[in-house]
Chains A and B, each alone.
Chain A
Amino acid sequence: MSEVSVNTPKGHIEVKNFSLAYETIEGAVQAVTDTRIHVKPGEFVSIVGPSGCGKSTLLNAVAGFLKPTTGIVTVDGERVNGPSAERGMVFQQYSLFPWKTVRENVEFGLKMRGMPRSQRERAARTLLGLAGLEAFEKHYPERLSGGMKQRVGIVRALATGPKVLLLDEPFGALDAQTRVIMQQILTNMWQRLKISVLFVTHDIDEAIFLSDRVYCMTARPGSIKAEIPIPLERPRQQSMMMSSEFLALRRGLMSLIREESLKAMGGEISDMGMQGLNIELHGHSLADVI
């Protein structure tokens, strides 16, 4: 399990027979069950699914924050046993250190590795320059916009040269315009660095636009419902989002997710509740009507 041959390509994520359960007073609650995914070296893979389906749980297990109840997570054949700088992560809540300037945030991983100050300062400046942030190196994160914060977050995660980049709904808190720009920036960086990316989102357009492959998860307990290759050519342009190919993929994914979302909401929206909204069910199930 732990031997890595020299020829092994970098950044190969494998998750096998994965399940994860939480202990509660009523017993174990299954969050994710019987899941199998993989990301090939240099591939961009997204996970979409209804909210609460356990897609973030799965990502956190790959990051090493959660231990699988059963199954195994490996990166390049090596078992994941806790967080490490090999797997960079970008969080939805930005998670920049407020007490560090932009440059100090980017330097953090290099500092942990013991790189001398002058060297890591130079490295951080170069990276910030690539992301168009050199003018803000001395700013504290509080003064940055959401989009800038997340750019710093991505640069910080990439600074240590990780094998894989994990992103947990990184653009969820951004407005629509900023989101599109950030997607472009992420794509550019990914293509330049040839790094493997595992991207969690609830935004179907975003998943299709960015990914080589999309996993769609079922409602809780989450498992893989479908695996959809995205054959759109690269580099991808904003205009592609209007192409029939894109729209067909979108329709397909949309209906998969809607099915699951309805299942997930089943407990919350009763037939009685729907009658109160003046929707006649006539004995059909909610999913059929909608």
Chain B
Amino acid sequence: MSSPALARHPEHSMPATALAEAGSTPAVVTPPTAPPSFGTLALRWYRLNRAGLRATAIGVISLLAFLLVWHLLTTYRVVFFVRFTNVPSPLAVYASFSKAIHDPKFLMHILLSCRRIFIGFSLAAVVGVPLGLIMGRFKLVHEIVFPVAEVLRPIPAIAWVPMAIMLWPTNEQSIVFITFLGSFFPILVNTLHGMSLVDPVLVRAAQCLGARERSIFREVYFPASLPHIFTGLTVGMGVAWVSLIAAEMISGQYGIGYFTWEAYSLVQYADIALGMIAIGVLGLGSSVLIRGAGRLVMPWSAK
């Protein structure tokens, strides 16, 4: 906080012309010996973005440290309660990664998993969100559906695997069904929660402006619930991946979960870690997509 550079900052005066000149220069943290106008600008940029820079820097260091620890543990084959004897090193995983990205079979595994997620999750959103909205608005629907949902909700998607295989004619369908189930309940519950938190004053305000039931639903209840709907979609996407991987490991023939399990059966240890990392990256990517969609749909909640 009290570094000399920061303490000196208020003394600098920055004429408008200097600001315009320095505006196009990429702002980089520079030592205070730089020309005053540029230094002021850089300092200002640094001060405004300090928290973000700090987080990024620490994040990168933390990831590197994780890789280093992983490398050391596997290189020295540490056995200390946990056995790292057969665990592949980061370099081995990287080698198998560079081989895999040229392998159409690996890409097909990933594509198939993504397709299952897309179908299962989309179905869950298309059914879960409207059902939650209707349950939140009409007591009778809530009273009918809620008890059933509450009984089914605690059943983990993996426990549905045998039932799903009986219910659906093909393996593909049963895996998509399990993915659907995994994401359906978080989406439904969060949508319901959003509906229950809609400010009644806003509903009254709409009524006073001549809004009828249908308009109130579209113009008040739905947008007011959107933040919670998106929470449900984010959580649902996470559970969708968990359920998909479990289903693929048990009954799949393709997919990244099957790939990971197959690697274990074939004693290709580097591929196990590769599969795990691929799952992690895909999960991260899909939640980033949902968050981005949320920001597009709800411009008012942007900071």
Contact = CB atoms under 8 A, between A and B. Distances in A.
Interface in A101-131: 108-109, 112-113
Contacts of B299: 140
B223 A160 contact: no
B150 interface: no
B210 A93 contact: no
A207 interface: no
Contact of A108 (B204, B206, B223, B298): B206
Contacts, number: 66
Contact of A112 (B199, B211, B298, B300): B211
A218 B226 CA distance: 43
Interface stretch (A83-91, A222-230, A277-285): A83-91
B201 A93 contact: yes
A97 B201 contact: no
A157 interface: yes
Nearest to A159: B209
A108 B201 contact: no
A84 B210 contact: yes
Contact of B210 (A91, A109, A140): A109
Interface string B269-303: 00000000000000000000000000000111100
Interface in B210-244: 210-212, 215, 219-220, 223-224, 226
A80 to B, nearest CB: 12
Interface size class of B (residues with CB under 8 A): 20 to 34
The A interface, classified by DSSP as helix, strand, loop or mixed, is loop
A160 B300 contact: no
Contacts of A83: 204, 207-208
Given A95-B201, A95-B202, A99-B224, A85 B210 contact: yes
B199 to A, nearest CB: 8
A98 B300 contact: yes
Given A97-B219, A99-B226, A112-B215, A160 B209 contact: yes
B193 to A, nearest CB: 18
Contact of A97 (B210, B212, B220): B220
B149 interface: no
Contacts of B210: 84-85, 109, 112-113, 160
Interface of A: 63-65, 82-85, 87-89, 91, 93, 95-100, 108-109, 112-113, 140, 142, 156-157, 160
B18 interface: no
B204 A156 contact: no
Interface in B170-228: 199, 201-202, 204-212, 215, 219-220, 223-224, 226
Nearest to B302: A140
Contacts of B215: 112
B201 A87 contact: no
Interface of B: 199, 201-202, 204-212, 215, 219-220, 223-224, 226, 298-301
18 contacts: A84-B210, A85-B208, A85-B209, A87-B208, A95-B204, A97-B205, A97-B206, A97-B219, A97-B223, A98-B300, A98-B301, A99-B223, A108-B206, A108-B209, A108-B211, A109-B209, A112-B211, A160-B210
B223 A112 contact: no
Nearest to A106: B209
B109 to A, nearest CB: 41
A29 B292 CA distance: 51
A84 B208 CA distance: 5
A91 B205 contact: yes
Contacts of B202: 95, 97
A106 B215 CA distance: 16
Nearest to A82: B207
B169 to A, nearest CB: 44
For the complex of A and B, list the 7 residue pairs with the smallest distance between their C-beta atoms, beginning with the closest: A85-B210, A109-B209, A83-B207, A99-B223, A112-B210, A95-B205, A89-B208
A89 to B, nearest CB: 4
Nearest to A85: B210
Residue with the highest number of chain A CB atoms closer than 10 Å, among B201, B205, B208, B210: B208
Contacts of A91: 201, 204-205
